[in-house]
Amino acid sequence: GSAKAKFFRKLGFNESNVRRLEKSLLEIAKTNDIKNTREFAYGINYVINGTIGTPTWKMVTITTVWFVKTKEGKPSFVTAYPV
């Protein structure tokens, strides 16, 4: 897998608890301020940092990136990686 997949697996995330990771990443977007934006022809990327708890009981700070299409207005998850 990629470096990001290896990072999240080291923290205890795997196929059996994907929903937990998904909920944690969504919580970052809901409860933290936007750190940066980048506009494109079809929408905007939003960068949001936040801390999540992991299955290995560590707290880690993650950068998440979300994309909002100009016409739809619904955010889509793009990526997440350690700060």
Side-chain-side CA neighbours of residue 5 (13 Å): 4
Model confidence, pTM:
0.90
| E strand or H helix at 19 | helix 18-31
Whether the CA torsion 55, 59, 61, 66 is positive or negative: it is: positive
pLDDT (tens digit per residue) in 34-72: 999 999 999 999 999 999 999 999 999 999 999 999 877
